[in-house]
Amino acid sequence: MPAASPAAARRLLQRCCRALDDKKAVELRVLDVSALSTITSYLILATATSAPHLKALRSALEEVLDAEHASLAGVEFGAESGWLVLDAYEFMAHLFLPKQRDYYRLEALWKDAPALEVRELLAGK
């Protein structure tokens, strides 16, 4: 899969963040892992309030990717896991239920990755 231009990747990231925010995702964070990872440029981390909310967040991301004609490498989701991973090449979205987000603490694992300002992404900056 050819890499998207940085500007195109940023626009897709912004649209996905807006979709998650519109669906009331909790603790939305974006980490720039481009200097630390060979498989993706950004990680989107968000918490859902319930299993149905988790599925709604997934659907919102898939709708954006479909509308943008963006490729999806895959989705990993165990019905009872409370953790969903959506790989869209330029970013990977990790959607959690609260207990799993606290347990896996991906922010700590990727502590060397700079966090993007979500408010700026939502504002289109």
Cα separations in angstroms, 33 against 48, 58, 93, 125: 23, 21, 12, 19
- The CATH number of domain 6-123, selected from 3.40.50.2300, 3.10.20.600, 3.50.50.60, 3.30.460.10: 3.30.460.10
Q: pLDDT of the chain along its 125 residues, tens only?
A: 455 788 888 899 999 999 999 999 999 999 999 999 999 999 999 999 999 999 999 999 999 999 999 988 888 876 678 999 999 999 999 999 999 999 999 999 999 999 999 999 999 87
Q: What is the pTM of this model?
A: 0.92
The backbone region for 45, taken as left when phi is positive above 0, alpha when psi lies in -120 to 50, beta otherwise, is beta
Give the integer Cα–Cα distance in Å for 70 and 68.
5
Give the integer Cα–Cα distance in Å for 6 and 80.
35
Residue-range domain boundaries for the chain: 6-123
- 67, with CB counted inside 10 A (0-12, 13-18, 19+), is exposed
Give the integer Cα–Cα distance in Å for 96 and 105.
10
